[in-house]
Amino acid sequence: MNNGDQLTFSDDKTVESVNRGLDFLENGDFMNAFSVFDSIMNNKPDYPGVEAGYRTSRYWLNRVPGLATLNNGKESADFLMGQWNEFENYSREKNFFGGSAFKAVQKYIYYNSSEHYKTAFANQESPADNFSLLMNLAVCFLTLEDYPKTIETLEYAKSFFKNDPKLLSILAAAYFKTGEAPKSLLLFREAFFINPSAIDIELIKCEPINELTSASKEAHPEEDIREWVPVYGFLMDIFYVKGKISQQTAELITKDIASLEKSYQSMTREKLKKSNVLPRLINKYLWLYDYYHFQNYDLSILSQISQRLIEIDKSLFGSYFSKNKP
């Protein structure tokens, strides 16, 4: 750019070169990508995106040859994903995480990894690892924003592993991205009930989860915000889609509450902050509250639960239950 930030012919040529380099990265042609960015670095080292493209192409140029020595399938996919994890750390360190070069090479790595995972599953390389293969494949599809394939893969996996919270959360994110919000919110609610700490919050970024993680982080900055997501999902009426639960499940939740109450009452405030006891106790109570509110209405039990929640955290539940009386 020059006077008045007007685009010059020189700038236009540089833009074309940068875009060509990004295309090479997206197609895994790291030699040509490096050649393009190296040439721009010699003339305009401070041009936006050039240093990131140079670092990215050089990084992968030095690693892809190792792929040629591996077998197609799980071995190659695991190698690529392992290298990708290292690259993410490197990109953060060099301050180009999430930029154009990062996203271009991400498409190549995740697409190729997905192809290798598909090969591994089709060939039944390791039947005992079928679940991890399907999960890894789904993560690749989700990252590539291929939501229909993410759903297809995880719905198949769900027929065998229906209570895995990470699976349910990724499936929920994919459904939300395809516009099926009610189904998505139901799955999110179930996933965060089963085990919040098993959920990779970075994988499932979408509007409702972003809103809930923001609220959780603001209120509990020193705690695992995943544990508080379902609590705020209830309070903010974001997890408003609720599936039916059996009487047996309600009885199990009641037993869990009794156990968590013992832990809660025996712990100091400092110990509670370092544990997941408080948010899990609250969430169990909220599920039981919904059961006696929507399925097996009992005003007496609802009043007991609401009163106990107010005792546990008046700042959270005092105003809520004054506005939403059982």
For residue 281, give Cα distances in angstroms to 179, 213, 270, 286, 291.
Answer: 32, 19, 16, 9, 16
Q: Is the pLDDT of residue 44 over 50?
A: yes
**What's the pLDDT at 102?**
97
- Specify whether the backbone of 5 is left (phi greater than 0), alpha (psi in -120 to 50) or beta: left
- Which tens digit of pLDDT belongs to each residue from 84-94? 999 999 999 99
**What's the pLDDT at 16?**
93
Sign of CA dihedral 45, 49, 55, 61: negative
Tell me which residue of 284, 309, 301 sits closest to 322, measured CA to CA: 309
* Dist CA 214 CA 225 (whole Å): 9
Q: Is the pLDDT of residue 8 over 70?
A: no
Mean per-residue pLDDT, 96-117: 96
Q: Is the pLDDT of residue 315 over 60?
A: yes
Mean per-residue pLDDT, 205-229: 96
**What's the pLDDT at 326?**
77
Q: Is the pLDDT of residue 284 over 90?
A: yes
Q: Tokens standing for 317? A: 């539940």
Mean per-residue pLDDT, 241-258: 96
Mean per-residue pLDDT, 220-240: 96
* pLDDT over 70 percentage in the chain: 95
What confidence category does residue 5 fall into, taking pLDDT thresholds of 50, 70 and 90? very low
Q: Is the pLDDT of residue 124 over 90?
A: no
Q: Is the pLDDT of residue 176 over 90?
A: yes
- Judged by average pLDDT, the poorest of 100-104, 125-129, 257-261 is 125-129
* Dist CA 63 CA 113 (whole Å): 15
Task: Using DSSP, state whether 155 is helix, strand or coil.
Answer: helix
Angle at 208 between CA 192 and CA 326, to 5 degrees: 70
Q: Tokens standing for 309? A: 């929640």
